[in-house]
Amino acid sequence: MQVARAVAVAASPSASGAEVGSGVSAVPDELDEQTLVVRAQEGDARAFEQLARRHQDALYRLAVRVMGDRAEAEDALQEALLDAWRRIGRFRGESAFSTWMYRIVTNRCLGMLRKRRPVPVEEVDAAPAPAQDSPERAAERDAGMAALHRALAALPDDLRVCWVLREVEGQGYAEIAQITGATEDAVRGRIHRARTRLAEAMRSWR
């Protein structure tokens, strides 16, 4: 996974059209997020790099689940990080920084999805098999996970994004509404429809 490279590229002074202030300064690891945001808005590329690294695992996980492909998720995340670095001056703190980043990654993923179809089915982040599992049990579990990934890939983009944010990332309805730009009622409806479709698709695996 080249997420670390993506963070470094996004945080490089040349990636931003704005004048860079302290882009090469060292940033203490213990700085709080608000301070890092302020320093990044002042042009400190290292501060932005530290912000991105703090959130990169969750952002990458979101991108993989939405895109259905690790390589395309990495591309989407790198572009999203570049977007975030260029727009960091526009962040006003009206939502959590993580929510702001989720929205940028989500929008970048959806933009890429609109340019290609269908969503590929790639088995990602499967839980490791318990040591005591028999080969038959392990094969059954793997087949069930593959079926879930196919069902998830078959969901409309808006349903899949809301389901991933809720069920995988643990975001609240209000946060998902901020990320997607939808109302809370719309988010609840999308998640309900996603759950219904997935339950129907997985009925034979119960």
Q: Which domains, and CATH codes, for the chain?
A: 1-122 (1.10.1740.10), 132-206 (1.10.10.10)
Those residues with Cβ within 8 angstroms of residue 123's Cβ, 6 or more apart along the chain or in another chain: 142, 145, 146, 149
The CA distance from 68 to 119, in Å, is 6
CB-based burial label for 116 (10 Å; 0-12, 13-18, 19+): exposed
Q: Is 125 left (phi over 0), alpha (psi -120 to 50) or beta?
A: left
Tell me: the pLDDT tens digits for 131-190? 566 676 666 666 767 788 889 989 999 999 999 999 999 999 999 999 999 999 999 999
Confidence of residue 204 (pLDDT cuts 50, 70, 90): confident
Indicate the pLDDT class of residue 114, thresholds 50, 70 and 90: confident
| pLDDT for position 71 | 92
Q: What is the mean predicted confidence (pLDDT) over 82-88?
A: 94
Average pLDDT over residues 17-22: 47
pLDDT score of 73:
94
Q: Angle, nearest 10°, between helix axes 45-67 and 33-41? A: 110
Burial status of residue 49 (CB atoms within 10 A of its CB: 0-12, 13-18, 19 or more)? buried
With b for 16 or more beta-carbon neighbours within 10 A and e for fewer, the 124-142 pattern comes to eeeeeeeeeeeeeeeeebe
What is this structure's pTM? 0.77
- pLDDT at residue 183, rounded to an integer: 97
Residue 17 has pLDDT above 60, yes or no: no
